[in-house]
């Protein structure tokens, strides 16, 4: 291990701080929290390390979106209040740094421009909780506030996110509209027909008809919900803050409702075939049911990655007490930060 090799080197002073500078800074950029934890255990003063631009481990963690490093050293700032006011040579505080566009490698970990922008907004909101309130609107030497830096850096990403959401919503709206048309027509022309005198369907006592009626109703209401969600996305103003929770939640609800409506439609279709052929040609039920499982499996599997990403990105934070529940090996009380030196 690198730390073991460094410990074998000859040095002067009370620790190996100079030898750990390059490894700990690189680890901060690469989100290698175990490496940072190990180095701080062996040399607490390594937290003072800075790169050629004067950025230390905390600033690099924000610039490179290293959430594991950020969570690891959270206790230091929370207890010592030392990086709430830290600034670089251009008077950029860490909220200015959070306003910069993340490296492409970190952005590409999220699916679609909208989720990429959501992650950037989550970083900004997290860092905003840490710094002093007066620093939220504080200018740098270029007379830019953190909000101005974020808007300038993410202008293209906002446009790409808007286009991605519109394209997705338009495609899904067409599918939802088709399902509404199909299941509404199926509800009017019930399988087996109706009594000419009373208008009551002939197969109301059949269990398969009850399954058809329930699944058809679920499909209709779910597809209607999905269509409304997608229309609300298309008519949104697409402001920066809307990408944080509002738009992703609408998209998640819309896709889940569309998935439910498609599955319910297939169940209603299979129930209709059972009513028609169940008594006269029961052998046809096996290939019919087997064939219906194919589109149902596709309905479930294909949108599942997007649903998973939307849910995790919107409801499972990379920050917060749950992520910080596992304590670091180093003792935060032994860490001393000397910013600006």
For residues 77 and 310, give the distance between their C-alpha atoms in angstroms, rounded to a whole number: 31
pLDDT at 29: 93
End-to-end CA gap in the chain: 30
Q: How many helices (H) and strands (E) does the chain have?
A: 16, 0
145-160 pLDDT, tens digit per residue, is 999 999 999 999 999 9
Q: Roughly what angle, to the nearest 10 degrees, separates helices 207-234 and 246-277?
A: 150
Angle at 11 between CA 7 and CA 13, to 5 degrees: 110
Which residue(s) pair with 194 in the sheet? 201
- Could you give the CA distance from residue 274 to residue 212 in angstroms, rounded to a whole number? 10
Q: Mapping DSSP to helix (H, G, I), strand (E, B) and coil, where does residue 158 land?
A: helix
Q: What is the dotted CATH code of the domain comprising 156-316?
A: 1.20.140
Closest CA to 57 of 30, 95, 79, 78: 30
Give the pLDDT score at 302: 81
In order of 70, 153, 220, 232, 234, the CA distances from 29 in angstroms are 11, 20, 50, 39, 38
Name the residue ranges covered by the structural domains of the chain: 2-152, 156-316
197-211: string of b/e by CB count within 10 Å (b at 16+)?
eeeebebeebebbeb
pLDDT, one tens digit per residue, over 208-234 is 778 888 999 999 999 999 999 999 999
The pLDDT assigned to 20 comes to 81
Instruction: List Cβ neighbours of 196 (8 Å cut-off, separation of 6 or more).
Output: none
- The CATH number given to 2-152 is 1.25.40.20
Q: One fold for both 2-152 and 156-316?
A: no
Residue pLDDT, tens place only, 235-263: 999 999 999 999 999 999 999 999 999 99
Residues of the chain predicted below pLDDT 70? 1-17, 75, 77-81, 190-206, 278-282, 284, 320-341
CB 203 within 8 A of CB 191: yes
What is the structure's pLDDT at 338?
47
Q: Where are the alpha helices (DSSP H) in 235-335?
A: 246-277, 285-301, 304-315, 320-323
Q: Residue 162: its pLDDT value, please?
A: 96
């Amino acid at each position: 291990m690198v730390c073991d090799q460094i410990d074998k080197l000859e040095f002067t002073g009370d620790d190996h701080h100079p030898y750990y500078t390059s490894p700990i800074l690189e680890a901060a950029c690469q989100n290698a929290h175990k490496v940072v934890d190990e180095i701080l255990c062996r040399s607490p003063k390594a937290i003072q390390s800075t790169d050629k631009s004067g950025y230390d481990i905390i600033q690099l963690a924000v610039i490179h979106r290293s959430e594991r490093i950020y969570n690891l050293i959270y206790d230091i700032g929370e207890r010592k209040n030392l990086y709430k006011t830290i600034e670089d040579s251009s008077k950029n505080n860490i909220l200015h740094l959070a306003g910069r566009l993340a490296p492409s490698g970190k952005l590409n970990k999220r699916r679609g421009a909208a989720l990429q922008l959501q992650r950037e907004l989550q970083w900004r909101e997290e860092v905003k909780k840490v710094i002093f309130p007066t620093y939220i609107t504080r200018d740098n030497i270029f007379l830019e506030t953190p909000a101005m830096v974020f808007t300038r850096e993410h202008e293209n990403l906002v446009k790409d996110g808007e286009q991605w959401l519109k394209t997705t919503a338009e495609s899904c709206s067409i599918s939802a509209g088709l399902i509404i048309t199909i299941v509404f027509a199926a509800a009017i022309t019930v399988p087996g027909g109706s009594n000419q005198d009373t208008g009551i369907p002939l197969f109301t006592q059949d269990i398969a008809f009850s399954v058809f009626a329930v699944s058809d109703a679920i499909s209709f209401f779910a597809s209607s919900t999905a269509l409304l969600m997608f229309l609300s996305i298309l008519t949104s103003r697409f402001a920066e803050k809307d990408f944080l929770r509002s738009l992703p939640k609408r998209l998640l609800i819309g896709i889940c409702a569309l998935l439910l409506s498609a599955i319910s439609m297939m169940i209603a279709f299979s129930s209709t075939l059972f009513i028609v052929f169940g008594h006269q040609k029961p052998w046809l039920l096996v290939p019919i049911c087997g064939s219906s499982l194919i589109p149902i499996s596709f309905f479930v599997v294909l949108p599942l990655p997007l649903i998973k990403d939307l849910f995790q990105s919107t409801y499972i934070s990379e920050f917060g007490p749950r992520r910080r529940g596992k304590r670091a090996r180093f003792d935060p009380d032994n860490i001393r930060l000397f910013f600006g030196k």
